[in-house]
Amino acid sequence: MLATKIILLTGASRGIGRAIAKSLAANGATVILLSRSVPDLVSLYDEIVHAGYPQPSIYPFNLCSATLEDYDDLRRNIEKEYGRLDGLIHNAGILGDLSPIEHYNIQKWYQVLQVNLNGAFMLTQAAMSLLKKSPAANIIFTLNQISNQPKANWGAYAVANAGCQTMMQMLASECENLTNIKVNAVRLAKVQTSLRAQAYPAEDKSQLTKPEDVCQDYVELMSATKRHLNGAIVDVIAENLEILV
């Protein structure tokens, strides 16, 4: 479904990102694996290559501390190696504190917004010129249900999620006249990840959706089968899937 496509994936080394990377590669995509954890990226690279899928690229990158020059270097390196991007998937995220706003640690607040929201903005901006060179490009944001249902004590994580949802919808509107770029989101609930384990340490993990079970939605949004969608949110709730436009 994704043969010849070049896709940049953030948060690629673990959890949902790792599962998405393998699913994209299994469907023929060349994946640029972006994460701050080099050992995890190397092991993922080895898994993909040993499976006989297209050779990915590793790009160590810290969204929390990256400068504007780092983003520009990323753009230049991708352009030099591949000449374009066919897809960008925003998946990286950190939880931060579960704390009332009154007592929320200010440094932690900045860190969460930098990784989850500002990083998505700066990476999107840096990638736009590369995406415009693709005949059919896609940008996918990963959201949590908290973006639509804010709860007490979810702090910067909830704010960043809501911000990403708004950014996706604005960007989709801005790209309506750019017929080669589609912008959508996958909104997840109750997926077995380390981030969710931090938020719900006593939860029965056997009742959660596995990361591998949500990957098909990303593959389909990256493929020709969902090219009619722009500004859509694909809600993945356990085994049920509903598309909201």
Which of the following is catalytic: 45, 59, 157, 218?
Answer: 157
CA–CA distance, 61 with 10 (Å, rounded to integer)? 9
24, 3 in Cβ contact below 8 A? no
d(CA 149, CA 153): 12
Q: CA 135, CA 96: separation in Å to the nearest integer?
A: 38
Alpha carbon distances (Å) from 221 to 36, 98, 157, 206: 26, 32, 25, 28
Cα(93)–Cα(185) distance, integer angstroms: 15
- Per the annotation, the verdict on 157 as an active-site residue is yes
Active site residues: 157
